[in-house]
Amino acid sequence: MIRLFAALDISDDVAARLTALMKGVPGAKWRPRENLHLTLRFFGEVAEPVADEIDSELSQVGDATAPFDLTLKGAGSFGGADPHALWVGAAENAALTKLAAACERAARRAGLKAESQKFKPHVTLAYLRGAPLDRVLGFERRLGLFEAPAFRVERFGLYSSITRKSAPSLYRLEAEYPLFGRF
């Protein structure tokens, strides 16, 4: 079994800006630079034959998707009154939505169930444990008008994930898919 997800890497200059924002919230486990990404579709734990099928299906996505510019904008948290994650969002982007939908269709063709949650493009900055709600809300307010410079998306990747109890997850790029936009 292998745990997989499709994601966009974040440019180094935008990642540096995000890293500089990672402060001011007690109980936050800030993500290391190498873990900053924007998930297009989480596939979960799959057997090797399914992983191969996902790879095969994703390899066709780039033909129908042209490169595009992406802007990270705004911030928020997941979990409501008991927040468990801080994130920076993405500005509305039709090409990004189309790419995520193509990854969803690829997952379905590979035999996976439909994603139960609506796609909400974001980069997770921290996971929270016991973070004071007022500090989380202060972080959201402070970054409410945040906007990073746009960066060019010319490819996406299939990543494996190994979770660890006392350290951040390890992510490994398993395959990369260039965006060509030929069709």
**Residue 180 gets which letter from DSSP?**
-
The model's pTM is: 0.93
Decide if pLDDT at 182 tops 70.
Answer: no
For residue 46 the two structure tokens come to: 């799959």
Interhelix angle for 94-109 vs 48-58, to 10°? 140
Write down the CATH superfamily of domain 2-178.
Cyclic phosphodiesterase (3.90.1140.10)
Annotated active-site residue 84? The verdict is no
Whole-angstrom Cα distance, residue 113 to residue 108?
A: 6
> Choosing from 4, 21, 37, 77, which is the catalytic residue?
37
Which whole number is the average pLDDT over 7-15?
96
Mean of per-residue pLDDT scores for the chain: 95
> Choosing from 9, 122, 128, 153, which is the catalytic residue?
122
